[in-house]
Chain A
Amino acid sequence: MYEAVRADPAGESTAARFAAAASEHGYDGVVVRNSRDDVVPPTFDSRAAYAEAIEAEYGADAVWGVELGGDRGTLTRAVRESREDVTILCVAGGGADRNRFAVETPAVDVLTRPMTERGDFNHVLARAAAENGVRVEFDFGPVLRASGGERVQALRDLRKLREILFYYDAPYVCSVCADSHLHLRAPRDLAALGEQIGFTGEQVREGFREWGRLVERNRERFDDSFIAPGVRKGRGDVR
């Protein structure tokens, strides 16, 4: 199970601290949503070296991802430029246009927080997401950290999203959108929370496992042994 987080400088904890906390909570690792920013300390010369040190120290996998925003034009270019650079490519939801772009682009892995910024979700988007294998994110952040009307709205949005996505069997991921290591919660606690707000515990756990499956799939896809899409180097069994 993985959790997707925003690390320092955008967030309030570094990727290594997130990894330490996640490992304590029983996650396999963290997906850093803002790995394009300056998340690697200057003592390491690459993201790979930093990830290796984190793995050795805390036994948690640090996965580099990016969460793209902007309008359709800039997004098209940004997706093309970032795809090879990161393991997990997310598009920040919000607004009908951005949600639609994300679910219609197979190169996008995850559409995050589709209900924020006056965004909405419907059956057309759900079908497109299922067809293109774009995961849609359930964001439990506001349920954990907001209160009053804001929280009620977040719960209402989660319910609507859940009803639509599950009807069309569209793929999904769960996260708490953590900005600080203090925002992380154990998968078991989140499953219990999910049960209170209409999910089953298993559905929530499945949402956290889905990050792991995405990571594994993308690492294999972007492995150097592929010289072209579908063409792998080395001796095959086919003659």
Chain B
Amino acid sequence: MKHLPKHLRPRWRYLAVRLESTPDADFDRGAFQRELWFAAANLLGDPGSADADLRVFSFSFGAPVGEAVVRVRRGEVEAGRAAVACVDGVEGAPVAASVIGVSGTVRACEEKYMRGPPEAYDEKRVAFRDADSRAICRGNLRDVRSDSRWTGATSLDME
């Protein structure tokens, strides 16, 4: 189909979204997009969700952290932000999604806010709460596996 004249093309804004989850989370762009649509439909309703027209553009996730660029209609940025905040889990894994910035183009968004691949993490045995547990360490953050659940901790909490 013929391109729309410039003044009739939709205008977009791009949200830089930071994702954090548990170290065993495993989901792809499609799963995150689905959750985002659900969150938007539940919060904004079908009309509001259609207005915001949220779409995940670039997506990279290597548990436990990741980032994504989410496209939203200009003028619906605040609604998009609220919908992103309501994403609380993807495929059973708890997820914290927060908007760290807004740009007018995908490129500006990636250059300004994307940090690239996450810092390397390693697995160690740690002494936490009088028990010897497995922990995923990133910098001084520790995700400790105990009693089949993850506990968020830091190096300050280790014995």
Interface residues of chain A, those whose CB is within 8 Å of chain B, are 8-9, 12-14, 16-18, 20-21, 25, 41-44, 50, 53-54, 57-58, 143-145, 147, 151, 180-186, 188-190, 192-193, 195-196, 201
Q: Count how many chain B residues have C-beta atoms less than 8 Å from C-beta atoms of the other chain.
A: 32
| Residue B157, interface by CB 8 Å | yes
Question: Given A183-B96, A185-B98, A189-B99, A16 and B156 touching (CB < 8 A)?
Answer: yes
Q: Of all chain B residues, which has the CB nearest A193?
A: B82
| Residue B145, interface by CB 8 Å | no
Contacts A/B (CB < 8 Å), 13 sampled: A16-B153, A18-B152, A20-B141, A21-B152, A147-B42, A181-B152, A184-B96, A188-B81, A189-B81, A189-B82, A190-B85, A192-B78, A195-B78
Tally A-B pairs: CB < 8 A: 103
For the complex, what is the distance from the CA of A190 to the CA of B97, rounded to whole Å? Answer: 12
- Would B81 and A50 count as touching, CB distance under 8 A? no
Q: A144: which of B21, B88, B153 is its contact (CB, 8 Å)?
A: B88
Minimum C-beta distance from B99 to chain A (A)? 6
| Residue B86, interface by CB 8 Å | yes
Q: Of all chain A residues, which has the CB nearest B88?
A: A145
Main secondary structure of the interface of B (DSSP, over half): mixed
Q: Which residues of B contact A182 (CB under 8 A)?
A: 20-22, 94-96, 152
- Would B43 and A14 count as touching, CB distance under 8 A? no
- Would B42 and A14 count as touching, CB distance under 8 A? no
Interface residues of chain B, those whose CB is within 8 Å of chain A, are 20-22, 42-44, 78-79, 81-82, 84-86, 88, 94-96, 98-99, 129, 140-141, 149-154, 156-159
For the complex, what is the distance from the CA of A209 to the CA of B86, rounded to whole Å? Answer: 22
